[in-house]
A and B are shown apart, each in its own frame.
Chain A
Amino acid sequence: MSIIVYVSTKGGDVLKSSLEAVSYAAQTAETSNQEVVAISVGKVNSMDELGKYGANRLIQVQSSSISSFQPNLIAKAIHEIVKMEGSNLCILSHDLNGKAIAPILSVEMNAGMVTGAVGLPDNSDGFMVRKGVFSGKAFANIKILSENKIVTVMPNSIEKKEFKNTTNVEDVDIELGTPRITVIDQKIASTDVPLPEAEKVVSAGRGLKGPENWQMVEDLAKELGAATACSRPVADMDWRPHHEHVGQTGVAIRPNLYIAIGISGAIQHLAGVNQSKVIVVINTDKEAPFFKSADYGIVGDAFEVVPKLVEAVKRLNA
């Protein structure tokens, strides 16, 4: 039997979040002796990474009707492959692509689903998966009871294990019908890693006083190779774009490093970031609640501390 994993591509390259899903599938397959079959819609440039993270085969679905993002049609394509392979487990990333496709696929496959998994399935008594709930404030262990199953994998939460597989490629033509959504414009941000998948994040809050003071935040992020984020009031006041807003009502992230500058650490903010592996807090107020969730802290003025940090990282990088 095989485990099916859906991979998204950008310009033919497989997204990092999808490689994590491949690795999740491969580590699940390892214990149950199954084959990992990746599915892409359209061409993948290089098989090296897919093989490295454990895909045995890649099925490239060619369909004239999918030239833009059509979740309904992609779900249908995945379901066709699932049937062809006789598989009953499908893995996707819990990125924006997976969030759009997986629920539709779950109806197509009549499959129970756990979204945003942070651990591999536990097969000791049924099929149980761990996921974050209450916006990062707790975890739940959820059993899938149905024969068919879908798991979506939270970005940045699975250790990628290396395999040395060679991925064989097959092309499949599937007639999927006419898309009902017409895409008329697209704004893709530069080549930067999207915030939910970034491994390092530098974030700042109202303590920075105004949008004109963000240069040092961007400098620090650039030197560290990090993405930038912000607290909700900062996005609400339009100091920063909305997609940078992290927290319970913004983007939930779990990078390896989260640096919070001039952010008080309100419970709603913490909810979206407290799964980060290492948290650094820089705040003038030593009583700021954020320090209780921090691994490292500096009690000090961001306007003095941050430029010094930028210089220190520059020296390190030199």
Chain B
Amino acid sequence: MKILVCISKVPDTTAKIAFKDNNTSYDTNGVQFIINPYDEWYALVRALEIKESQGGSVTVINVGGAENDPTIRKALAIGADDAVRVNTLASDALNTAQNIADYAKKEGFDMVFCGKETIDYNGSQVGGMIAALMDMPYISYASKMNIVESKATIERDIQGGKEVLEVEVPFVLSAAKGMAEARIPNMRGIMAARTKPLNVIEPSNTDYMTEIVGYELPPAKGECRFVDAENPEELIELLRNEAKII
């Protein structure tokens, strides 16, 4: 199986969220970046497991500037064979998806894996767009997947429950919790990653459909009102009469 895994670079989950330039851009000062957890823990690791048991290859692709290279190298350290970076800003989902789809069409992959969403822009967009652009079936929020020859059996999250389905390659899926267990790269992997190919290609598409105008931080919370542990009934009373929520 020839698998393409889309990886996004996001701020570490503990990173401070602050904005600069009059709240028009994210302040990356002092921020550590990681591979988007859904892309790494689930999509990438499951792809590697399939390769290890059935042969084939795993390529990772990222859309972004050269500052993303260390994050991409981490995916190589975890075990991807090679990497591709499309050298353009990933600020619009359709543009990102178009660039990935154009590359994937040219190379021909059996499966394309994404994470279910990124933890920075929370879009849940790119996977489905790639599928549509490549005219492949899209399986969103996959929580388990197995493949025998060309037929995959996938469990996906649906509204209110789960569903098991069968689909023939090629297809695109977005990975959710349950697909695999996160892996920590070992020393050998880290050494090997230095010499694995990371190819930089120029974007095939430069149209943008959306534009971020500005950011806002949520209003600060007021003081917490404490209720005596001896008298928790008071809480219920406050929720009913003050917060008017129950």
Q: Which A residues form the contact surface with B (CB < 8 A)?
A: 8, 10, 15, 17, 68-69, 71-72, 75, 94-97, 99-104, 106-108, 111-116, 128, 131-146, 180-189, 194, 200, 224, 242-243, 245, 248-250, 252, 256-257, 267-268, 271, 274-275, 277-278, 280-281, 291-301, 304-305, 308-309, 312-313, 316
* Complex contact B141–A299 (CB within 8 A): no
Residue of A107, A256, A300 touching B129 (CB-CB under 8 A) = A107
Contacts A10-B159, A183-B164, A257-B245 aside, 16 further interface pairs with beta carbons under 8 A come to A72-B132, A100-B141, A106-B93, A135-B119, A136-B218, A140-B216, A143-B211, A184-B153, A188-B161, A281-B224, A295-B224, A297-B226, A298-B229, A299-B226, A309-B233, A309-B236
CB-CB under 8 A for A103 and B158, given A142-B213, A301-B229, A305-B229: no
Contacts of A187 in B (CB 8 A): 161-163
* Complex contact A104–B132 (CB within 8 A): yes
Pull 18 A–B residue pairs with CB atoms less than 8 Å apart, ordered by A: A72-B138, A99-B124, A99-B140, A103-B126, A103-B132, A107-B94, A115-B123, A141-B212, A146-B209, A181-B137, A182-B167, A186-B162, A188-B161, A267-B13, A268-B14, A296-B225, A299-B229, A305-B232
CB-CB under 8 A for A107 and B133, given A114-B210, A252-B122, A312-B236: yes
Contacts of B229 in A (CB 8 A): 298-301, 304-305
* Complex contact A103–B121 (CB within 8 A): no
Contacts of B159 in A (CB 8 A): 8, 10, 15, 17, 95-97, 194
Chain A residue nearest to B159 (CB atoms) is A96
B108 within 8 A of A: no
Residue of A142, A245, A298, A305 touching B211 (CB-CB under 8 A) = A142
Contacts of A295 in B (CB 8 A): 221-222, 224-225, 243
Contacts of B245 in A (CB 8 A): 200, 256-257, 277-278
B165 within 8 A of A: yes
Least CB distance, B13 to chain A, in whole angstroms: 5
Contacts of B164 in A (CB 8 A): 183-186
* Complex contact A71–B138 (CB within 8 A): yes
* Complex contact A141–B131 (CB within 8 A): no
CA A2 to CA B126, docked complex, whole Å:
27
B178 within 8 A of A: yes
B37 within 8 A of A: yes
Chain A binding surface, main DSSP class: mixed
Residue of A71, A104, A140 touching B215 (CB-CB under 8 A) = A140
CA A278 to CA B94, docked complex, whole Å:
36
Q: Nearest 8 A-B pairs (CB), nearest first?
A: A103-B128, A300-B229, A112-B209, A107-B132, A188-B161, A100-B140, A185-B164, A312-B233
Contacts of B166 in A (CB 8 A): 181-182, 184
Number of A-B contacts (CB under 8 A): 266
* Complex contact B132–A182 (CB within 8 A): no
Task: Kindly name the residue among A96, A183, A185, A293 whose own CB sees the greatest number of chain B CB atoms within 10 A.
Answer: A96
Chain B binding surface, main DSSP class: mixed
Chain B 96-132, CB-CB to A under 8 Å as 1, else 0, gives 0100000000000000000011011111111111011
CB-CB under 8 A for A100 and B137, given A183-B163, A312-B233: no
Chain B 150-190, CB-CB to A under 8 Å as 1, else 0, gives 00010001111111111110010000011000000000000
Contacts of A141 in B (CB 8 A): 212-216
B69 within 8 A of A: no
Task: Kindly name the residue among B13, B157, B210 whose own CB sees the greatest number of chain A CB atoms within 10 A.
Answer: B210
CB-CB under 8 A for A137 and B17, given A15-B159, A188-B161, A281-B224: yes
Contacts of A200 in B (CB 8 A): 245-246
Contacts of B218 in A (CB 8 A): 136-139, 274-275
* Complex contact A224–B209 (CB within 8 A): no
Residue of A102, A135, A267 touching B128 (CB-CB under 8 A) = A102
* Complex contact B239–A257 (CB within 8 A): yes
* Complex contact A102–B125 (CB within 8 A): yes
CA A256 to CA B153, docked complex, whole Å:
38
CA A95 to CA B141, docked complex, whole Å:
11
Chain B residue nearest to A191 (CB atoms) is B160
Task: Kindly name the residue among B13, B37, B126, B171 whose own CB sees the greatest number of chain A CB atoms within 10 A.
Answer: B13
CA A299 to CA B225, docked complex, whole Å:
11
Residue of B17, B171, B210, B214 touching A113 (CB-CB under 8 A) = B210
* Complex contact B14–A133 (CB within 8 A): no
CA A150 to CA B227, docked complex, whole Å:
45
CA A46 to CA B159, docked complex, whole Å:
20
